[in-house]
Amino acid sequence: MAEDKFGGQQILYLPDGATRLLGRDAQRTNIAVGVAVANAVKSALGPKGMDKMLVSDLGDITITNDGATILQEMNVEHPVAKIMVDIAKTQDKEAGDGTTTVVVLAGELLRGAGELLEQGVHPTTIIKGYKIAAEKSAEFLTHISKEIDPKDDAILQKIAMVSMGSKNIGDDKTKEYLSKLVINAVKQVMDKDPRGKIIIDHDLIKIEKKVGGSIADTQFISGVLIDKEIAHPGMPKSIKSAKIALLDVALEIEKTETDAKIEITSPEQMQAFLRQEEQMLKDMVEKIKNSKANIIITQKGIDDVAQHFLAKAGIIAVRRVKKSDMEKLSKATSGKIVTSLDDLNEEDLGFAGMVEEKKIAGEQMVFVEDCKNPKSVSIFIRGGTQHVVDEAERSLTDVIGAISSVVEDNKYVLGGGATEVDLAIELRKYSNDIGGREQLAIQKFADALEIIPKTLSESAGMDAIDTLVQLRNKHRTADGNTYGVDIYKNIIGDMQKLGVFEPIRVKKQAIYSASEASEIILRIDDMISSKSKGGGGMPPGGMPPGMD
Ligand code: ADP
Ligand code: MG
């Protein structure tokens, strides 16, 4: 592409097949794409939201209600659609939940911006207004949030249930059971930073899944589950009071790098050579025995001969374990990962009440459990079909995120659209103090927030406009600001009483990310695409494939 000046005007030479959208056209197209992406996930919002079935080009089927997953599997090509996918991912990373919300909200902000553009409001003004509104919303969220005592399991339980609400993974009893597992797990890995602030590293909760049994067979494991089998059939299948050597060492004779030839001229020499190798392996096993370990788990390989000696010594060995699992084992058992057998001491060993190989759905897995105060734990998901197991994993990941963020921030807000209606009222009030055209943008921002109660009521089969009017009126009354959509009774209801609680971080992050995405998209007034057809470019008409 070359740039030139011609009569004071910039001329842009585009290569063959390139397309270019300028000014209002670019904005219109981008807004349409953003809105289309939001529409594609909108019907999945909330417990009454529908599931989506996604079929990949290889024919793999995913059935889910999870916003981030839906977008990821849709394989969108348009750059604006990719921005929308990115905010769902950011939301997932930062808050662990609220991925549908953030995309729906961003779509609505774009739709509102589109209306303002048509009325002749400049994009810069809209961007400025949205920024002010997002900041005000965050402030107000903190103001209306309620404090939670991280020890208060009853409230944590409610937050977990709301987070799990939309996922199709079983009845309320099952969900209650799963909530307890997650709360347990989060509390177990909870830590404090040097300033005494609670921090939770999600990676320390390992999720393993296997089809089989039912979702109610899902279990909490106070330790680590390794998707490997015990190395040798002659080894014990289980050991109580396990003393575990965690190794980053191969129990093998290193082969020489170059093709060094060893001249063997007689059978005796051959024997001697083999005996020498055997002795070296025997020595390695001897070192392990001396450390008093009765289990070894290594990231590297174990020679057959070494396996034989280990089995003879009654030691369980598991080999080629993933590095990430080794780190978890170290945290769970308080053992140290040792890189040389010469350094292996009894103090380095980890401890577990039980190490056992179990056959699960036809495959062997090693359970390292009953660890004392483990700083890494596992949740083992079971379920009747792959779809159930996969959706349960997504759901539990959301709940882990929600519970962690509420424990870290110790603040929650009300769900069911109650918070959004409150924020909208507050923003409209605030916009009156702001002169000029930004006022219009702040009002649009307020309208956009109301998409949440609107969509929730729609999915419950209620009249969305009617419900919204009722909610607005209720929120203007003295103690009506706890009201939201009671999707199970199809009326407006008190979310505080119903216990529909959500972590403040989920809402705050959704508002920030959605407004940021809409600002980025609005700022674009020139789209140059070097490909006319196919992936990566702008499809004519702007709609990504497969969207309504
Ligand atoms: P996300 O991916 O954004 O988390 P969900 O499908 O989990 O989307 O839906 C979350 C929305 O559903 C939130 O606005 C939340 O307040 C609402 N919600 C969840 N449970 C209830 C409930 N029992 N009653 C009313 N609203 C609920
Ligand atoms: Mg959710």
Given CA atoms 493, 496, 498, 500 in this order, what sign does their dihedral have? positive
Same domain, 62 and 92: yes
Yes or no: say if 329 and 338 are a contact pair by the CB < 8 Å rule: no
3-state secondary structure of 5: strand
Same domain, 441 and 504: yes
Q: 26 CA distance to ligand 1 centroid (A)?
A: 34
CA distance 412 to 144: 9
Q: b or e along 256-279 (b: 16 or more beta carbons within 10 Å of the residue's beta carbon)?
A: eeeeeeeeeeeeeeeeeeeeeebe
Nearest ligand to the C-alpha atom of residue 68? 1
Instruction: Tell me how far CA of residue 268 lies from CA of 263, 277, 281, in angstroms.
Output: 12, 14, 20
CA distance 20 to 529: 6
Residues marked as catalytic: 66, 99-100, 398
Residue in this structure with the two tokens 């909490």, named with its chain if needed: 220
**260: left (phi > 0), else alpha (psi -120 to 50), else beta?**
beta
| Burial (CB count <10 Å: 0-12, 13-18, 19+), residue 61 | exposed
CA distance 17 to 6: 23
Residues near ligand 1 (Cβ within 6 A): 44-47, 49, 65, 67, 97-101, 162, 165-166, 415-416, 452, 456, 484-485, 487, 500, 502
| Burial (CB count <10 Å: 0-12, 13-18, 19+), residue 424 | buried
How many whole angstroms from its chain centre is CA 205? 12
* Residue of 97, 99, 100, 166 best suited for mutating to test ligand 1, as the one with most atoms within 8 Å of CB: 166
Domain with residue 358: its CATH number is 3.50.7.10
Ligand 1 atom closest to the Cα of residue 104 is: 3
Residue in this structure with the two tokens 């971080």, named with its chain if needed: 505
Same domain, 26 and 136: yes
CA distance 202 to 399: 11
Same domain, 52 and 159: no
CA distance 99 to 546: 20
Question: Is 2 within the bounds of a domain?
Answer: no
Question: Is 539 within the bounds of a domain?
Answer: no
How high is the pLDDT of residue 113? Answer: 96
Same domain, 175 and 41: no
CA distance 95 to 411: 13
**461: left (phi > 0), else alpha (psi -120 to 50), else beta?**
left
Same domain, 128 and 198: no
Per the structure, how many domains does the chain have?
3
Ligand 1 atom closest to the Cα of residue 506 is: 4
Question: Is 537 within the bounds of a domain?
Answer: no
Question: Is 97 within the bounds of a domain?
Answer: yes
Ligand 1 atom closest to the Cα of residue 165 is: 20
Q: 143 CA distance to ligand 1 centroid (A)?
A: 21
What is the enclosing helix (H) or strand (E) of 458?
Answer: helix 451-459
CA distance 67 to 76: 14
DSSP β-bridge partners for residue 502: 413
CA distance 456 to 524: 32
Question: Is 495 within the bounds of a domain?
Answer: yes
Three-state SS for 221-263 is ECCEEECCCCCCCCCCCEEEEEEEEEECCCECCCCCCCCCCCC
Q: For helices 451-459 and 418-433, what crossing angle results, to 10°? A: 150
Domain with residue 477: its CATH number is 1.10.560.10
CA-closest residue to ligand 1 atom 26 = 416
Question: Is 292 within the bounds of a domain?
Answer: yes
CA distance 538 to 521: 14
Question: Is 535 within the bounds of a domain?
Answer: no
Question: Is 217 within the bounds of a domain?
Answer: yes
Domain containing residue 405: 150-222+374-409
How high is the pLDDT of residue 530? Answer: 75
Closest CA relative to residue 455, chosen from 415, 485, 414? 485
Q: 336 CA distance to ligand 2 centroid (A)?
A: 38
Q: 525 CA distance to ligand 1 centroid (A)?
A: 35
CA distance 65 to 53: 9
The radius of gyration computed from the CA coordinates of the chain, to the nearest angstrom, equals 29
Q: 242 CA distance to ligand 1 centroid (A)?
A: 44
How high is the pLDDT of residue 10? Answer: 56
CA-closest residue to ligand 1 atom 24 = 416
Same domain, 459 and 473: yes
DSSP type of residue 341: G
Same domain, 95 and 37: yes
Backbone angles phi, psi at 413, to 5 degrees: -130, 175
Q: 301 CA distance to ligand 2 centroid (A)?
A: 42
CA distance 252 to 274: 13
How high is the pLDDT of residue 437? Answer: 87
Same domain, 351 and 437: no
Q: 272 CA distance to ligand 1 centroid (A)?
A: 72
* Residue of 101, 452, 459, 462 best suited for mutating to test ligand 1, as the one with most atoms within 8 Å of CB: 101
Protein residues near ligand 2, an ion, with CB under 5 A = 97
Domain with residue 172: its CATH number is 3.30.260.10
* Residue of 41, 43, 45 best suited for mutating to test ligand 1, as the one with most atoms within 8 Å of CB: 45
Q: 47 CA distance to ligand 1 centroid (A)?
A: 6
Yes or no: say if 45 and 100 are a contact pair by the CB < 8 Å rule: yes
CA-closest residue to ligand 1 atom 11 = 46
Backbone angles phi, psi at 292, to 5 degrees: 75, 10
- The tally of CA atoms less than 13 A away on the side-chain side of residue 61 is 8
Nearest ligand to the C-alpha atom of residue 399? 2
Ligand 1 atom closest to the Cα of residue 415 is: 16
* Residue of 456, 486, 494, 507 best suited for mutating to test ligand 1, as the one with most atoms within 8 Å of CB: 456
Ligand 1 atom closest to the Cα of residue 485 is: 25
Same domain, 327 and 340: yes
Closest CA relative to residue 62, chosen from 168, 216, 150, 155? 168
Nearest ligand to the C-alpha atom of residue 397? 2
How high is the pLDDT of residue 13? Answer: 66
Same domain, 491 and 398: no
Same domain, 230 and 369: yes
Segment-wise mean pLDDT, segments of 10 residues, the chain, 548 residues: 49 69 84 92 88 81 82 82 92 90 97 95 95 96 93 92 81 91 94 90 92 93 95 96 96 72 78 87 94 96 95 96 96 96 94 96 93 94 92 92 92 96 96 89 98 96 96 94 95 96 96 95 82 48 42
DSSP β-bridge partners for residue 62: 54
Nearest ligand to the C-alpha atom of residue 450? 1
How high is the pLDDT of residue 274? Answer: 83
